């Protein structure tokens, strides 16, 4: 079988990659719900790659759109010119979002979407003559990618500490998960909306006239699928409105059907000022992201007297024709197969199967919403992450791909999953949990 011949040349400086080198697991093919590994085994994809392959792997329509686009128009600059698919995609996306989030800025990843939204937030206030509003707020446990902006507003202190000073003027509000665990709750916890008032406390520290924006993941993904209590996000919206602070949703994971609605804004019925997306926009096939901005933001730039405000921002690959073609085909597949609401149809089956893990060895909490779920394991004393990593290895041995973050198993399958595959995921996991130390 195929084996890597130089494990050092391809460098990803994560602990997870050091673990990879101890036990290389090479993927060489993918179709539908399954990966094929270098030994020819079919591995059930329990995580949609990295939460991105929402339409399933190698969908014919998307493959075809990508290959014909490369042949037709392989590249076009997005500065001073464009190409038709960029406009078509922007308007289709804008139509999917509730008004007034109808202006779309293209990026190439989630991290870029976040940095883009943060820059737009600062420039927006400046365009309105409120340049003192420069401070940014994030949430503890928030993950917003690896750009300087994203790590700074991100709430994982371990990710920040290596870099010393990042962006200054950043504060983090406390995460509801640290204020009340809501253990084993199904879907959204019933209580805890009042934890949004922690935002008022942080605002009071600096005066609202200095604060530009708050960014939150509606459901924190990478830190272990943390579901907000009912009413919590609405309350954040109200507090931001009161203080003229922009609210940004990072929907890089929750976007494109993960929660059973096209976006989390639909599920939670809260409309932020900007929404960051990526991943599912092309179903993971080609890197792409998009920031949705509201009309008031767009107008602030457009109405500013000429040359008073310049947002120097844009990428060589913004609205790349191949990415646009992939995204348009992906949206077709979502629409034709009803995939953006499929998670809602499967949610109660998924929830019951997931909560069936309650009582199995090591399990201390279970959380779910739509087609996303987490099983939190009791950490081994003195060896955090070790137990979850063993679960990951054993699951892979048994032809199931899961993802772990800390001591949490995170699940987010492609939205094309069938009930029989849901059963298989949890039967395999039950065996894995019984068999690890
Ligand atoms: N925001 C969130 C909520 C994410 O989950 C991620 C990626 N896991 C990112 C931003 C960064 O996206 P990317 O890796 O595409 O830069």
Has residue 39 been placed in a domain? yes
Q: Which atom of ligand 1 is nearest to the CA of 278?
A: 15
Closest C-alpha residue for ligand 1 atom 1: 144
Given a cut of 80, whether residue 206 has pLDDT beyond it is yes
Query: Could you tell me if 179 and 43 lie in one domain?
Result: no
Distance CA(290)–CA(90), nearest Å, equals: 9
Number of Cβ within a 10 Å radius of residue 434: 10
Query: Could you tell me if 333 and 351 lie in one domain?
Result: no
Mean pLDDT of 268-273: 98
**Domain edge (last residue) among 337, 357, 381:** 337
Ligand 1 centroid – CA 50 distance (Å) = 9
Mutation pick for ligand 1 pocket among 53, 144, 220 (CB with most ligand atoms within 8 Å): 144
Residues 81, 86, 91, 94: is their CA dihedral positive or negative? negative
Query: Could you tell me if 153 and 40 lie in one domain?
Result: no
Query: Could you tell me if 129 and 219 lie in one domain?
Result: yes
Has residue 93 been placed in a domain? yes
**Does 221 sit in the ligand 1 pocket, CB within 6 Å?**
yes
Domain count, the chain: 2
Query: Could you tell me if 160 and 301 lie in one domain?
Result: yes
Query: Could you tell me if 32 and 74 lie in one domain?
Result: no
Supply the pLDDT for residue 386: 94
Ligand 1 centroid – CA 52 distance (Å) = 10
**Does 330 sit in the ligand 1 pocket, CB within 6 Å?**
no
Sheet holding 211-216, edge to edge: 103-107, 289-293, 274-277, 246-250, 211-216, 135-139, 170-173
Supply the pLDDT for residue 172: 97
Closest C-alpha residue for ligand 1 atom 13: 110
**Does 368 sit in the ligand 1 pocket, CB within 6 Å?**
no
Has residue 351 been placed in a domain? yes
* Short-list 82, 128, 118, CA closest to 301: 128
**Does 217 sit in the ligand 1 pocket, CB within 6 Å?**
yes
Peptide bond into 100 cis (omega under 30): yes
**Domain edge (last residue) among 337, 361, 395:** 337
Query: Could you tell me if 365 and 397 lie in one domain?
Result: yes
**Does 144 sit in the ligand 1 pocket, CB within 6 Å?**
yes
Has residue 349 been placed in a domain? yes
Instruction: Output the domain CATH number for residue 405.
Output: 3.90.1150.10
* Residue 191 and residue 229 in contact, taking contact as beta carbons nearer than 8 Å: yes
pLDDT above 70 covers a percentage of the chain that reads 98
**Partners of 366 in beta bridges:** 375
For 163, 315, 354, the CA distances from 368, given in Å and listed in that order, are: 33, 36, 8
Which range of residues forms the domain containing residue 303?
Answer: 64-337
Question: pLDDT tens digit string along 278-313?
Answer: 999 999 999 999 999 999 999 998 888 876 777 888
Question: pLDDT tens digit string along 36-58?
Answer: 998 999 999 999 999 999 999 99
Q: Is the ipTM of this complex over 0.90?
A: yes
Query: Could you tell me if 83 and 32 lie in one domain?
Result: no
Query: Could you tell me if 112 and 222 lie in one domain?
Result: yes
Given a cut of 70, whether residue 365 has pLDDT beyond it is yes
Has residue 1 been placed in a domain? no
Q: Which atom of ligand 1 is nearest to the CA of 110?
A: 12
**Domain edge (last residue) among 321, 337, 353:** 337
Instruction: Output the domain CATH number for residue 226.
Output: 3.40.640.10
Has residue 9 been placed in a domain? no
Question: Which pLDDT band holds residue 3 (cuts at 50, 70, 90)?
Answer: low
**Does 52 sit in the ligand 1 pocket, CB within 6 Å?**
no
Has residue 10 been placed in a domain? no
Mean pLDDT of 226-235: 97
Ligand 1 centroid – CA 320 distance (Å) = 19
Lowest mean pLDDT among 6-15, 19-28, 236-245, 409-418: 6-15
Has residue 4 been placed in a domain? no
Query: Could you tell me if 307 and 178 lie in one domain?
Result: yes
Query: Could you tell me if 246 and 290 lie in one domain?
Result: yes
Mutation pick for ligand 1 pocket among 149, 278, 317, 410 (CB with most ligand atoms within 8 Å): 278
Query: Could you tell me if 374 and 248 lie in one domain?
Result: no
Given a cut of 80, whether residue 354 has pLDDT beyond it is yes
**Does 110 sit in the ligand 1 pocket, CB within 6 Å?**
yes
């Amino acid at each position: 079988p195929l084996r890597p011949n130089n494990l050092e040349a391809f460098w990803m400086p994560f602990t997870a990659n050091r673990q990879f080198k101890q036990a290389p697991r090479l993927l060489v093919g993918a179709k539908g719900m399954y990966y094929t590994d270098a030994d020819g085994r079919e591995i059930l994809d329990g995580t949609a790659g990295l939460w991105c392959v929402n339409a399933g792997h190698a969908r014919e329509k998307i493959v075809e759109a990508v290959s014909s686009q490369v042949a037709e128009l392989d590249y076009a600059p997005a500065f001073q010119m464009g190409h038709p698919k960029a406009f078509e995609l922007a308007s289709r996306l804008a139509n999917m979002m509730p008004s007034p989030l109808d202006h779309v800025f293209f990026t190439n990843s989630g991290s870029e979407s976040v940095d883009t939204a943060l820059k737009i937030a600062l420039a927006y206030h400046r365009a309105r003559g409120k340049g003192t509003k420069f401070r940014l707020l994030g949430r503890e446990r928030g993950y917003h990618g690896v750009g300087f902006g994203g790590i700074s507003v991100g709430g994982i202190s371990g990710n920040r500490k290596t870099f010393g000073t990042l962006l200054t003027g950043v504060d983090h509000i406390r995460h509801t998960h640290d204020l009340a665990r809501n253990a084993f709750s199904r879907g959204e916890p019933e209580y805890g909306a009042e934890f949004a008032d922690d935002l008022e406390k942080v605002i009071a520290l600096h005066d609202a006239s200095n604060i530009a924006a708050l960014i939150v993941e509606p459901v924190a993904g990478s830190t272990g699928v943390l579901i907000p209590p009912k009413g919590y996000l609405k309350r954040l919206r109200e507090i931001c409105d009161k203080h003229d602070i922009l609210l940004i949703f990072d929907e890089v994971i929750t976007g494109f059907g993960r929660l059973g609605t096209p976006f989390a804004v639909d599920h939670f019925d809260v409309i932020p000022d900007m929404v960051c997306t990526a991943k599912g926009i092309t179903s993971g096939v080609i890197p792409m992201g998009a920031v949705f901005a509201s009309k008031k933001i767009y107008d602030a730039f457009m109405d500013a007297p000429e040359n008073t405000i310049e947002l120097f921002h844009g990428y060589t690959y913004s609205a790349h024709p191949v990415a646009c073609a992939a995204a348009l085909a992906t949206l077709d597949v979502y629409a034709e197969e009803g995939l953006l609401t499929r998670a809602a149809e499967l949610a109660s089956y998924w929830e019951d199967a997931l909560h069936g893990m309650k009582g199995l060895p090591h399990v201390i909490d279970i959380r779910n919403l739509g087609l996303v779920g987490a099983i939190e394991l009791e950490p081994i004393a003195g060896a955090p992450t070790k137990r979850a990593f063993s679960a990951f290895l054993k699951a892979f041995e048994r032809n199931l791909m899961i993802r772990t973050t800390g001591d949490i198993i995170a699940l987010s399958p492609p939205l094309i999953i069938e009930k029989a595959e849901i059963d298989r995921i949890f039967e395999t996991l039950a065996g894995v949990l019984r068999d690890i130390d």
